[in-house]
Structure 1
């Protein structure tokens, strides 16, 4: 207990107070600097994450806007071009759904519905979809700037489309899709193989050639026989 008494005596001594004060100040400074460093690091990491999310969101929206251009002229694309466009749109849809933004799935559903409508209408209203594409682009850009407010608009549109999708409209849409597919098959099915037709060459047979030679020899004999009496008359 003697060492404890000595420690207490040193701690309560007037000469020890400046040392204790300096130690407390140093400890407090270290604590404050650690808290400030943690706050600055957290803010920097947060800014990096937000910047990455904004870049991913902008990339997904740009891909969807580009997909709307392909969807507006869907009926004029070849099957290979349609496959490439579908893959790009699918990747953009997945990228949009994976964003850590509230309402990303709602925006993806809205964009998928609009792209499907543009593909269907491209067969009959291909030249009149510029306004639809512009609205599609503006809505997505507005969602990028104000996700919360635009999400409510997307939800109301999806609810309205759900009630409008009656049985007759579904049947009409299926018939239109079938007609579009049939027109595309007729358009891209090759009617000419493009291979030249080879006509075999014809050659005279050996029997025909031999018969012709025999006829020529017989004609020469007849001419010679007719010429011999005339020569004898001249000599006489």
Structure 2
């Protein structure tokens, strides 16, 4: 215990005060430098993560907007182009759902519904769907800037579409969509096989749709 008593006596002496003061200052400086370095590193990591999130969101939005452009002319695409477009939409849908943003799945569901409607309307309206594509683009860009506010609007749209859906009409619409897809594939198959003649009785099930809406 003699060494401990000597240490206490030395620390309490006036000769040790400069050394003790320098040691305390050095300790505080090292601690402050460590805390500052940790704060800078944490801020840098947060900036990198935020930048990656913004890039992922921008890439997903750009892919969905491009998919909307193709969906507006869906009936004029070849089957191979439709497959590639569907793959792009699927990848963009996954990117949106994986974004660390509350309600990103709501946005993905809203975009999927809108793309489906654009595909359906392309068989009838074709290039007249440009205003719908512009609206789709503007609303996604608005979601990119203000995700919380736009998420509520998307949720309201989904609820409204769900309440407006009528089962008989929905069945007729699905039957008509299936017929349009079949005719589209048959058109490109006949283009590659000129000798093939269309089957008799290939008419659109529009009467069933009209009956369901009536």
TM range, smaller chain:
0.7 to 0.9
TM-score, normalization by structure 2: 0.86
Q: Distance in 2 between matches of 1:181 and 1:88?
A: 19
* Residues 1:72 and 2:72 are matched in the alignment: yes
Structure 1 regions of 5+ residues with no counterpart?
195-236
CA RMSD of aligned residues (A): 1.5
Alignment of 1:170-185 (within 5 A): 170-185=170-185
CA deviation map 1:86-108 (0-9, x unaligned): 11111111111111222211111
Kept in 2, the 8 Å contact 1:120–1:176? The answer is no
Superposition misfits of 4+ residues, deviation over 6 angstroms: none
- Distance in 1, matches of 2:185 and 2:68, equals 23
Structure 2 unaligned runs (5+)?
197-214
Q: What is the TM-score when the length of structure 1 is the normalising length?
A: 0.78
8 Å CA contact retained: 2:67, 2:89: yes
Aligned positions, number: 194
Quick check: 2:79–2:185 contact (8 Å CA) kept in 1? no
Matches of 2:115 and 2:5, distance apart in 1:
84
Q: Offset at 1:176? A: 2.1
CA offsets per residue over residues 178-226 of structure 1, 9 Å max, x none?
Answer: 33124314422325249xxxxxxxxxxxxxxxxxxxxxxxxxxxxxxxx
CA distance in 1, matches of 2:48, 2:185: 49
CA distance in 2, matches of 1:98, 1:135: 24
Counterpart in 1 of 2:85?
85
